[in-house]
Structure 1
Amino acid sequence: MRLALPLIALATALSFTSPALADETPAAAPAAEAGTPAAPPRLIVAISVDQFSADLFAQYRAHFSKGFERLLQGAVFPSGYQSHAATETCPGHSTLLTGVHPARTGIVANNWYVPGIGRKDKKVYCVEDEANPASTSKNPVVSPKHLKAPTLGDLMKKANPATINAAVSAKDRAAVMMSGHDTDAVYWFEGKGFTTFEDRKISPAVEVENAAVARLVDAGDGDLPVPGFCGAVDHAVKVKDFTIGTYRFPLKPEDYRTYAGGPRLDAATGDLAIRMVDELGMGKDAVPDVLSVSFSQTDRVGHAFGHEGVEMCIQLAQLDATLGKLFDALDARGIDYAVVLSADHGGFDAPERLNQEGYAAAKRISADLKDDALSDAVSRATGITAPEGKLLYGAGSSGDIYLGAGLTAKQRKKVTSALVALLKANPEVEAVYTAEELKAVPVPQGDPQDWTMVQRVRASFDPERSGEVLMMTRRGVVGVADPAPGYVATHGSPWDYDRRVPIVFWRKGMAGEEQPAPVETVDIAPTLAALVGLKEPAGTWDGTCLDIDGSEADTCAR
């Protein structure tokens, strides 16, 4: 929260002499065309829409009429890329405000394995403090310790401690990855309300929002409205013994599980973001602040129902309204703010619907690519069994496979060779790499749409955390072997339906543009840094600054 007025004035004065922030007085700002903002914005609003693919953006952008409609007047990059292969929530969010690929953030997946770890649970969650005895991968003690790179908020607070760096999301990993290490407030939804780190208390604003959530859930609610443009996708598709495609998110009283899986939680996330702006005093002085807001429910709807049913149509219409409410609230407070909206990854529809729509190659991954099945197959081929735990961990979809603990160097070599041969012979596997092979590959540069498969994998490879073997499944293979109600589709592949995401910038007075270039999410942080006058040494970012003003003004030249 901002301090008393005299101290605010002092902090403002100090901001003008910060060695890492440009002079923020209007007199010192570079000349600009009429209507183009010249001074730094007072608030950066960094928005992530979880599992918001470039395909979904293209499909629905003509129907947006509230929050998205405003953003479409800004700088639109419809061909943005989460350019790496590990297209999951934690790696994707780790790129958005660090400006570096997962190879440098160290966030190679939502979870990785440490077979020799001194606990029964060998899986490590990306925002878990696994050294805490109370922590497990499913019930983590949340911590940013695994993030190796500073976020934009971290760097801005280092340059000027008066900067406020705050985040909110339904997911802990999203909020933590976007805010980083040096934070003023970080909240995510757990159980029946928003919570925070173990050593912090929720604020009065969070208590008020949690009470509002409780009132809604305890009372229950009816179906969510179906916009007229959803008619074409409002039909049932059979998956095993259940259907998807027609659900309208009715909410029974006291059903927090259903609440947490649908659009209403995005609305609460947006409401809490507004409350945080007020409570923390964000955007009120000359020191730029950062508010990260990750809307998680597009991802949860995508997993539960796929992309092409009425459920996703309802979700995006509801999110559009939520964004509109957030922007209207910031306008009402007179805050000069700049927005960036992107996504942590894309996604793929349920193969049953894709088959109906003519994508015959879409299929579910076979159970023989799960770690238990691979372990049995490799054991039969080599005669080697695990001295402790399992022989192999991971697998099951595109990603990392870890060798069990206790194997000799000779055994590890033999197991690795047999595993690679087994995977290369599998018709569902596109490519297989060993860690040793990937170590020799340079970190890729250039247009991400042109990267080879090994370059995509290298961009999310960390020798300290990645597996001994990495496999990539073929295009169209959905990494859900056995679908069930609530889980029919997923992401995580190296293909463009998972890699391509929109990147959109907006600020009042900025001349809009539509830019088809294949840019990356790692370009976001240096672009925003230029906007607020933050100067960092060469090599800080993997990305480059994007000129987000469609006029002759250059936002990268400030």
Structure 2
Amino acid sequence: MPATPPRLIVAISVDQFSADLFSEYRQYYSGGLKRLTQDGVVFPRGYQSHAATETCPGHSTILTGSRPSRTGIIANTWFDLSTARADKAVYCAEDESQPGTSSDKYEASPIHLRVPTLGGRMKLANPATRVVSISGKDRAAIMMGGPTADQVWWLGGPQGYVSYKGVAIPPLVAKVNEVMAQRLAQANAGFDLPAQCAAKDFPVRAGDKVVGTGRFARAAGDYKGFRISPEQDAMTLAFAAAAIEAMDLGRQAQTDIISIGLSATDYIGHTYGTEGTESCIQIDRLDRELGAFFDRLDRDGIDYVVVLTADHGGHDLPERHRMNAMPMEQRVDKALTPKALSDAVAAKAGLAGRKVIWGDGPAGDLYIDRGLTAPQRARVQAAALRLLRAHPQVETVFTKAQIAATPSPSGPPESWTLLQEARASFDPERSGDLLLLLKPRVMSIPEQAVMGSVATHGSPWDTDRRVPILFWRKGIQHFEQPLGVETVDIMPTLAALIGLPVPKGDIDGRCLDLIAGDGDSCAAR
């Protein structure tokens, strides 16, 4: 690998690209993923090591070197019971102080991210550095780009890519949006089924939905069909390549950085599950589009380094698992949903008819109403603990005091306890009074006649925690390290390549040596 710093860092996050998906299709890669796996440095057992395996926390770890306990991004949504908002919810990438907003209708903002990103540190060391972040989701773009990025763009709807309120649309973005509008106006007959996907081509019913045989055919103007398909990632990568060319990223004396959030794998996983033709086609198209993207950078003669990882893994829908040798797979009991749980606990605590517990779903952080007296709060917590710990689908429930008393974890992430994982996600200001963790193979979406998402993630189990971490640079010698590493190790590893010092006490990650055999890429350049 060259001893000189690369001129461009390309940091790619493939949303919901689990280590399981990565390994399942590895033998079929022929494009960009083949380049990364055969010619790069491969850590197939990377970990989003914290318990709250959601999009916002995961993206907050990748370029900060810090776990959610340090970044402050503990979930996609948490609750602030002191706010005047009726729902009390706070979205991870919003500024809730803006009047008239809600966690669903908000002004995007990076204010909740408490630590700098790699791009922010690079700009501090050299103000000439350009930092660009482009994604299919606002939270991915914001958490990887950080508050001091030069440009942050995400897919905002049928109108195309948008940024923070008040930012003028430059000619490049206007052109990208025009191209997207033209593509959206054309129907898509769907994608051919690759040979490796043929065995997955059978229908699976979940509620009112039948999934497993899709090809992503869509009518002209169908934005939802565009967004939940490989087309979205193709457009995001085309935008990123155009931004690199238009801004001359990687062509000046300093090192620049672009982060790219590819969101389609996640949308597809939620909508169709991870093991049907839909997901299989998506990984095939992702591989091809990445190959075209890297080839374009090569033709431009840019000296670039790539890291590719994911914000979390994912789990397929129980109905298909039950068809494929896993009869124990199940959906969560509706009694564990926040409203049902609050009603049951209130009745047991002598507070029937009062909302006593707030939560974002049938797992994760639970918040006890702040308007209760101290004795009432104690009764509610005791009743909730008894009810939850007796439920057959509940693995454990931790109290805030238990988690706070636990030291920050260290050592191999694959050997952490659930309490250590919970500590890595814990923020004393934002975390709940209780943390509910479901047993493995319990999907946290209840069974219902009309299904929205059919599958999800967010658990503390390895299906959701394990992700690939892949590095590539021209001239790098390939090796594979099967032992566990963390996504928080990415930032210090990249920082070492460009000679950027990062105090160890500022972050949770460690530098990974990317030189096979003798030599150490983590040594001071």
TM-score (norm 1): 0.92
* Letter of the structure 2 residue corresponding to residue 56 of structure 1: L
- In structure 1, the residue matched to 2:339 is 372
- Matches of 1:375 and 1:181, distance apart in 2: 37
- In structure 1, the residue matched to 2:186 is 219
Deviations 1:453-512 (A, max 9, x none): 100111001111000010100000001113645510000000000000000000000111
Of 75, 79, 83, the match for 2:49: 83
SS of 2:505's equivalent in the other structure is: coil
- Matches of 1:239 and 1:114, distance apart in 2: 34
Alignment of 1:286-435 (within 5 A): 286-384=253-351, 390-394=355-359, 396-435=361-400
- Matches of 2:142 and 2:271, distance apart in 1: 24
- In structure 1, the residue matched to 2:406 is 441
Alignment of 1:77-476 (within 5 A): 77-192=43-158, 193-384=160-351, 390-394=355-359, 396-476=361-441
- Matches of 1:63 and 1:51, distance apart in 2: 19
- Matches of 1:516 and 1:356, distance apart in 2: 31
How much has 1:74 moved relative to structure 2? Answer: 0.4
- Matches of 2:338 and 2:208, distance apart in 1: 27
SS of 1:79's equivalent in the other structure is: strand
- Matches of 1:338 and 1:490, distance apart in 2: 32
Judge conservation of contact 1:153–1:180 (CA < 8 Å) in 2.
yes
- In structure 2, the residue matched to 1:44 is 9
- Matches of 1:204 and 1:94, distance apart in 2: 29
Judge conservation of contact 2:145–2:259 (CA < 8 Å) in 1.
yes
Judge conservation of contact 1:71–1:505 (CA < 8 Å) in 2.
yes
- In structure 1, the residue matched to 2:453 is 487
SS of 1:539's equivalent in the other structure is: helix
Moved over 3 A (4+): 482-486
> Tell me, which stretches of 5 or more residues in structure 2 are unaligned?
none
SS of 2:506's equivalent in the other structure is: coil
Determine whether 1:505 maps to 2:467: no
* Letter of the structure 1 residue corresponding to residue 319 of structure 2: E
Of 27, 33, 48, the match for 1:68: 33
How much has 1:397 moved relative to structure 2? Answer: 3.0
Judge conservation of contact 1:523–1:546 (CA < 8 Å) in 2.
yes
- Matches of 1:445 and 1:474, distance apart in 2: 24
Judge conservation of contact 1:386–1:405 (CA < 8 Å) in 2.
no
Judge conservation of contact 1:386–1:404 (CA < 8 Å) in 2.
no
- Matches of 1:479 and 1:201, distance apart in 2: 40
- Matches of 1:50 and 1:173, distance apart in 2: 11
Of 54, 79, 94, the match for 2:19: 54
- Matches of 1:339 and 1:49, distance apart in 2: 13
CA RMSD, 1 decimal:
1.2
How much has 1:242 moved relative to structure 2? Answer: 3.1
How much has 1:386 moved relative to structure 2? Answer: 7.3
- Matches of 1:522 and 1:323, distance apart in 2: 23
- Matches of 1:151 and 1:507, distance apart in 2: 21
- Matches of 1:448 and 1:398, distance apart in 2: 22
SS of 1:153's equivalent in the other structure is: helix
- Matches of 2:138 and 2:447, distance apart in 1: 27
* Letter of the structure 1 residue corresponding to residue 337 of structure 2: K
Instruction: Give the 3 Å change call, closer, same or farther, for CA 275–395 of structure 1 in structure 2.
Output: closer
* Letter of the structure 2 residue corresponding to residue 76 of structure 1: V
Judge conservation of contact 1:170–1:294 (CA < 8 Å) in 2.
yes
* Letter of the structure 1 residue corresponding to residue 79 of structure 2: Y
* Letter of the structure 2 residue corresponding to residue 344 of structure 1: D
How much has 1:241 moved relative to structure 2? Answer: 3.6
SS of 2:492's equivalent in the other structure is: helix
How much has 1:199 moved relative to structure 2? Answer: 2.6
- Matches of 1:488 and 1:324, distance apart in 2: 30
Percent sequence identity over matched residues? 50
How much has 1:435 moved relative to structure 2? Answer: 0.6
* Letter of the structure 2 residue corresponding to residue 201 of structure 1: A
SS of 2:10's equivalent in the other structure is: strand
- Matches of 1:250 and 1:268, distance apart in 2: 17
Q: Which moves more between the two structures, 171-180 or 195-204?
A: 195-204
* Letter of the structure 2 residue corresponding to residue 252 of structure 1: A
Deviations 1:120-158 (A, max 9, x none): 231100001000014211122000000011110011111
SS of 2:164's equivalent in the other structure is: coil
Judge conservation of contact 1:261–1:300 (CA < 8 Å) in 2.
yes
> Tell me, which stretches of 5 or more residues in structure 1 are unaligned?
1-35
How much has 1:398 moved relative to structure 2? Answer: 2.6
* Letter of the structure 2 residue corresponding to residue 65 of structure 1: S
Deviations 1:424-460 (A, max 9, x none): 0111110101111111000100000000110011100
* Letter of the structure 2 residue corresponding to residue 162 of structure 1: A
- In structure 2, the residue matched to 1:3 is none
Judge conservation of contact 1:385–1:391 (CA < 8 Å) in 2.
no
* Letter of the structure 1 residue corresponding to residue 154 of structure 2: W
Judge conservation of contact 1:305–1:486 (CA < 8 Å) in 2.
no
- In the comparison of the two structures, how many residue pairs are matched? 521
- In structure 2, the residue matched to 1:7 is none
How much has 1:257 moved relative to structure 2? Answer: 1.4
Deviations 1:149-177 (A, max 9, x none): 11100111111111111100010000000
